Structure 1
Amino acid sequence: MKITRRSTALTALGLGAMMLAGCASASATGGDGEALEQVRLGYFANVTHAPALVGVSEGLFEEALGDIDLETTVFNAGPAAVEALSAGAIDVAYIGPNPSINTFIQSGGESARVIAGATSGGAALVVRDGIDTPADLEGANIATPQLGNTQDVALRNWLSEEGFETSISGGGDVTVTPTENAQTLALFQKGELDGAWLPEPWVSRLVLEAGAHVLVDEAELWPNGEFPTTVVLVRAEFAEQHPDAVEDLLDGHIAAITWLDEHTDEAPTVINDALEEATGKRLDDAVLARALENVTFTVDPHAETFQALVEHGLAAGTQKDGSIDGLFDLRTLNALLEADGADPVSAGGLGED
């Protein structure tokens, strides 16, 4: 199997040409009775997407997919990835829960399904010296990866609960500035940002490379510290047309998480190699070690949290109201888990398991 990688990080800008080309890149459009030549997978160059990084770099997707080629595209944040998924430019994405919710609601439940979890934890609000309590954030400028992404929603919801007003157009008691992660680090180092709500490894980079400190660990806001950071989202049409390919990809996904669990000594090097290939840069060993301490890799999407995430998005003003009944289809995942003698995971009443 051939793996084609697109390592340039993509934002919501400039996706049009990619989408037009992507719609035609998978040769088969019928059911599994027709030959499928390619699966197009999107993910981020983040520690929270380590199952995707490992699945690609260790050949676990390759082994699972057999004769089907894998094309990979690296994105910067969820809204850009889900836009590509909705347009048919990619088939499957490792993505945050809030963009998954948004596309499902906006499409009336027609666009995509969450088929597995990938990562729990690994997000926090980090701030400059002099900000030690929520009250100190009055008038601050705080960055997030992209408007409407999972960390953006988490920050806006938390600020609202703390009594601050924000606006998706800027301004308010606290200014929330959606900013690409690498730029956030540079701006924070220059003193042009007061903080940021970010996923790993960016939390650890700001702490260890820029002198930030953690004001809010998002794990503290959820029961048992468990909340979804990354899930696996499949385009609904693709899942309907190619269930065998979806099963194969999930088999590779489970293998990647198992590999991470069983190779804790090797994992940092493999992840760093994959990050370097995707971005051209490696993480400092101390940054990566700190980041990995704050994440858990799991196939459980923690569906029980998603209704709360809907409410957070509504409070943040970044999504439409609507039902997420049917968002999850965990049947294939659970069949694979059962075959391996593992416990099933729950759709939390929001789909099939």
Structure 2
Amino acid sequence: MPRRMFISRAALAFAVLAATLAGCGQSAPATNSAQKVTLRLGYLTRITHASALVGLDKGLFAKNLGPDVTLDVKPFGQGTEEVTALLAGQIDAAYVGPNPAFNAWQKSGGKAIKIISGSASGGTSLVVKPGIQNAQDLRGKTLADPALGGTQDVSLRSWLKDNGLQTNPQGGGDVFVKPTKPESAIVPAFIANQIDGAIESAPYDVQLVKAGGVKLWDDPNTITILVVRQEFLQAHPDVVSGLLKGQVEANDLIHSNPDAAAQAANATLASALGKGLPPDVLKASFEETKFTNDPGAGSLKDQVHKAVSVGLLDPLNLDGIFDLHLLNDVLKGSGQPQVDA
């Protein structure tokens, strides 16, 4: 074989190999593709999770995730149960209360989850028996909440402490705090005079008022956020972006047509629980809750301080827990103000 021909063929082979390698390098981002992905999403069966409830009923998540993503939805009764599922890799994203999310962050050394959006604030009240007019009237009384270490539990214990009343995780102290499972048992316990009040989120606080209770204190802080497992976020940012688009559209509907949004939320609750809410409870629950994509970083940091102060959380640094760049891309694309961490 002539030497010139040998050199030409060798150069050609090298060029083909180089092109192949370059093509492989360019195809690497395909690992982030939404193709053939299952997104396992958790939420709580409360109106304070209406961003999820509305998004599910109206098909907003499915539309924005696209046909190549399977949405596997899992309703939960408590945020502490959601966090257990997140840490075990059983779900990929969850609408959850702040304090369970803090626990997931702490238990995993900052490696398990990221807060990628807000969802709701407010919608939470301490409802007590008539005749209880201030915090001091609660001394020696029994109050219920959904779960030890949950967001409502921390808020209640912190508020009592600010008013000079001590509690402990075992249920003792100046006020007896009784975490109650299932959460739906709190209203019957109130009616039966087994408890003197409870801190609850919509719709349960509204149901307590309907059962004869009076609101003693409203908690205005962030009550629901959206978190995602870091591993899933890194592997499928396009899927997470689709989830966020669905949420933003759900909140847009809540703001533009609250009646239609309330009916959509109620339909999801009826599907998950076997029955929906009465019209008056549904309406009042929406009216007392603020739905927002902003996680409220200041509120969350304040809630960390509260949890530490009542002994339900070790000192915790939230640096790195937020990842809002995908949310801000979605908000920018829809002409809405961006949010800060």
Matched residue of 1:102: which SS? helix
Aligned match of 2:294: 300
Shift, 1:130, TM fit: 2.1
Aligned match of 1:41: 41
Do the aligned residues in 2 keep the contact of 1:105 with 1:324 (CA within 8 Å)?
no
CA distance in 2, matches of 1:345, 1:188: 40
CA distance in 1, matches of 2:263, 2:326: 31
Shift, 1:31, TM fit: 3.2
**In the alignment, structure 1 residue 232 sits paired with structure 2 residue 232:** no
Aligned match of 2:247: 253
Matched residue of 1:117: which SS? strand
Shift, 1:45, TM fit: 1.0
CA distance in 2, matches of 1:330, 1:165: 37
Distance 1:274 1:34, change over 3 A: closer
CA distance in 2, matches of 1:31, 1:82: 26
CA distance in 1, matches of 2:123, 2:33: 41
**In the alignment, structure 1 residue 287 sits paired with structure 2 residue 281:** yes
Which has the larger displacement, 275-284 or 152-161? 275-284
CA distance in 2, matches of 1:282, 1:241: 37
Do the aligned residues in 2 keep the contact of 1:106 with 1:320 (CA within 8 Å)?
no
Shift, 1:169, TM fit: 1.3
Deviations 1:6-56 (A, max 9, x none): xxxxxxxxxxxxxxxxxxxxxxxx932584331000001110001101111
CA distance in 2, matches of 1:197, 1:69: 36
**In the alignment, structure 1 residue 325 sits paired with structure 2 residue 340:** no
Matched residue of 1:266: which SS? helix
Aligned match of 1:181: 183
Give percent identity, aligned residues only.
40
**In the alignment, structure 1 residue 153 sits paired with structure 2 residue 161:** no
**Amino acid aligned to 1:296:** K
Matched residue of 1:328: which SS? coil
Higher fraction of helix: 2
Matched residue of 2:259: which SS? coil
Aligned match of 1:54: 54
Do the aligned residues in 1 keep the contact of 2:254 with 2:261 (CA within 8 Å)?
yes
Do the aligned residues in 2 keep the contact of 1:42 with 1:72 (CA within 8 Å)?
yes
CA distance in 1, matches of 2:37, 2:327: 23
CA distance in 2, matches of 1:121, 1:256: 18
Deviations 1:183-226 (A, max 9, x none): 00111110001000111010100101x1010001113xxxxxxx
Aligned match of 1:214: 215
**Amino acid aligned to 1:40:** R
Aligned match of 1:8: none
Deviations 1:65-108 (A, max 9, x none): 11211111111111110110111000000011111112112222
TM-score (norm 2): 0.88
Matched residue of 1:155: which SS? helix
CA distance in 1, matches of 2:264, 2:275: 13
Shift, 1:304, TM fit: 1.5
- Please point out which of 193, 209, 225 is paired with 1:191: 193
Matched residue of 1:31: which SS? helix
Which 5+ residue runs of structure 2 have no aligned equivalent?
1-29
Aligned match of 1:264: 258
Aligned match of 1:83: 84
CA distance in 2, matches of 1:277, 1:339: 33
CA distance in 2, matches of 1:77, 1:313: 17
Matched residues, number: 310
Matched residue of 1:265: which SS? helix
**In the alignment, structure 1 residue 109 sits paired with structure 2 residue 103:** no
Which has the larger displacement, 137-146 or 313-322? 313-322
Q: Which runs of 4+ in 1 moved over 6 A?
A: none
CA distance in 2, matches of 1:181, 1:78: 11
CA distance in 2, matches of 1:142, 1:34: 46
CA distance in 2, matches of 1:215, 1:31: 52
Larger Cα Rg: Structure 1 or Structure 2?
Answer: 2
